[in-house]
Structure 1
Amino acid sequence: MNAIIESVGLRRSYRGFDAVRGVDFTVARAEVFALLGTNGAGKTSTLELLEGQAEPTGGTVRVLGRDPYHERASVRPRVGVMLQEGGFPTELTVLETVRMWAGCTSGARPADEALELTGLDDRRTVRVKQLSGGERRRLDLTLALLGRPEVLFLDEPTTGLDAQSRRDTWELIRELKAQGTTVLLTTHYLEEAEELADRLAIMHRGLIATTGRVADVVAERPSRISFDLPVDRFLGELPPLAAMGVTRHDTEGRTVRLETRDLQRTATGLLSWAHHAGVELQGLDARSASLEEAFMEIAEGLEKRETR
């Protein structure tokens, strides 16, 4: 893989506290990579090391083949960074802010073009202090895109955005990827990671708990089927659950819940039985595991392991 971002044994400590405890991953050219984790997992600390904002306590990091901290002058012009909070002068208008930033950016795209990209072209004369929280996030993104970056770091890019603005941002990220931009993002919106990321890593207390393609991480968790049996039917009347691929089941009143690694096989067996038995399965629900379920299972598993 042509690694555009590479982290090997990355560590970062603050006065004896290890925020990042040995992180390894790579991101390929034109790939969207999501860094996930609960609060305090070390995501932002890791991102700051990749951006060259701080020197690692240990390990190495390379962006575009260079050290982003010690070779900042050669890396920074090729990178766009969207922080969790921009901190812009509140009395400037949106257009004045973009023009000011453009004056400090190598090869900056025209201000009007940048504002149109993020849907802020109709807010150009509004002072920053009058923007909503979501509009400020879009301004943060506008400035990150000014230099036509080869690598884009996005820290919680859609926090505060309404549903339409969030989806507009997703579409923009997809367009950037199609143009060859490498994107590394952190997000608390697991749907966002599921929609955008080619691969992801889930962090927990400074370490990576799991990494891989989104589909592979989700596929490690079982699918689920639930339904209500009629009052005159019993679970024992179903075909052998193991033969249908069921790995676990439980009941609550008339409600039956099945877990399976082969959703199609289990659903086919269940529906075939219901059809031939003349049984209507009320409340039937069949679904694959979601990234949210995978994330919660991993986080809860790690918490239990560390409290033993």
Structure 2
Amino acid sequence: MIQVQNLSKSFQNIQAVNDISFTINKGEIFGFLGPNGAGKSTTLHMMSTIIKSDEGSIYIDGIATNDHPSACKQLIGVVPQEISLYEELSAYQNLMFWGNLYGIQKDVLKERIHTTLELIGLLDRKKDLIKTYSGGMKRRINIAAALLHQPKVLFMDEPTVGIDPQSRNHIFEVIETLNEQGMTIVYTTHYMEEVERLCDRIAIIDSGKIIAQGTQTELKELVPTKESIQLEYSLLSENNLQELQKLLPYSINADKNKICIEGSVQELSNVITVSNELQLSIKDIQLNKVNLEAIFLHLTGKQLRD
């Protein structure tokens, strides 16, 4: 659906995007994960024809963005970081305005506004002025405006910044519904939990370069440490340890009353069952996961939100 090859962009002496390449398949959610200033928004701006690249090429559904920007704009919807709405107009009036800019026939537009407001859960508030909306509601209307012309691809640039958890979850549900309907979605964020929930594949970007990309499973393989389970017992004798080693099909590292087992959270129920059978009193359980934060730290040597 989207092919990006050797893309670069500089602003004066700042290299915002540095020779990146990737492919996005039709019908997938592709995430860009990185800290503020990593190059996520600049990449999205080039893909959505807002700015031109210095070098490289972008093809959307076989169409080159630099050569045919108008044709590409018909294929894409853009949800910017900034709220692009008129505060003194109602939600319905805002959507009528943006729909008219797309050149959608009036009767068709009215039906699409109704359907889109229903999708984002704000049909009952369509006559209310935008200035009366919460931050999360404004962001949902922002999404609605990008959907009116029924794009094949939706670009979403940090769409949950500054909103409450309930609104964030509602936006997630809208994204998942759109994706189930076949829409290709490109999503940028610096919140790892968002891409972990939403994205089929992820590109980790830092200082303008893609330092890793793939599925979550593929990215986890880049980290030398593995997921593990640590249990602390009230008392763990040498005999107890030997029994655990007999009954559990894992390699166990022990230290005083603690054991550490290499494995994922799926193994935990088995460990607890065996511990109960041996009448061992569990004092504490810790799950050490390999998540995107750990991957980013391993690849860059810094925390994701630095």
TM-score using structure 2 length: 0.83
* Pairing partner for 1:69 from 18, 41, 66: 66
Q: Is the alpha carbon distance of 1:75 and 1:233 closer, same or farther for their aligned partners in structure 2, counting shifts above 3 Å? A: same
CA distance in structure 1 between the partners assigned to 2:71 and 2:180 by the alignment = 24
CA distance in structure 1 between the partners assigned to 2:123 and 2:228 by the alignment = 46
Unmatched 5+ stretches in structure 1: 304-308
Task: Name the amino acid aligned to 1:121.
Answer: L
CA distance in structure 2 between the partners assigned to 1:88 and 1:5 by the alignment = 28
CA distance in structure 2 between the partners assigned to 1:255 and 1:294 by the alignment = 30
Q: SS of the counterpart of 1:19?
A: strand
- Please report how far the alpha carbon of residue 156 of structure 1 lies from its aligned counterpart in structure 2 after TM superposition: 1.2
Where does residue 184 of structure 2 map in the other structure? Answer: 182
Where does residue 244 of structure 1 map in the other structure? Answer: 250
* Pairing partner for 1:217 from 219, 222, 227: 219
CA distance in structure 1 between the partners assigned to 2:7 and 2:287 by the alignment = 41
Where does residue 175 of structure 2 map in the other structure? Answer: 173
Q: SS of the counterpart of 1:209?
A: strand
Where does residue 97 of structure 1 map in the other structure? Answer: 94
What's the Cα RMSD here?
3.1
Number of matched pairs:
293
Q: For 1:5-31, what per-residue CA distance to the aligned partner results, in whole angstroms no more than 9, with x for missing partners?
A: 111111110102101111111101001
Deviates more, 1:161-170 or 1:50-59: 161-170
Is 2:22 the partner of 1:47?
Answer: no
Is 2:302 the partner of 1:298?
Answer: no
CA distance in structure 2 between the partners assigned to 1:35 and 1:217 by the alignment = 13
CA distance in structure 1 between the partners assigned to 2:47 and 2:79 by the alignment = 13
Where does residue 136 of structure 2 map in the other structure? Answer: 134
Where does residue 87 of structure 1 map in the other structure? Answer: 84
Unmatched 5+ stretches in structure 2: none
CA distance in structure 2 between the partners assigned to 1:181 and 1:49 by the alignment = 20
CA contact (8 A) 2:236 2:257 kept: no
- Please report how far the alpha carbon of residue 140 of structure 1 lies from its aligned counterpart in structure 2 after TM superposition: 0.7
Q: Sequence identity, in percent?
A: 28
TM-score using structure 1 length: 0.82
- Please report how far the alpha carbon of residue 76 of structure 1 lies from its aligned counterpart in structure 2 after TM superposition: 0.4
- Please report how far the alpha carbon of residue 125 of structure 1 lies from its aligned counterpart in structure 2 after TM superposition: 2.1
Task: Name the amino acid aligned to 2:227.
Answer: S
* Pairing partner for 1:16 from 13, 19, 33: 13
CA contact (8 A) 1:84 1:155 kept: yes
Q: SS of the counterpart of 1:184?
A: strand
CA distance in structure 2 between the partners assigned to 1:250 and 1:85 by the alignment = 52
Where does residue 143 of structure 1 map in the other structure? Answer: 145
Q: For 1:135-160, what per-residue CA distance to the aligned partner results, in whole angstroms no more than 9, with x for missing partners?
A: 11111101011111101000112223
CA contact (8 A) 1:32 1:177 kept: yes
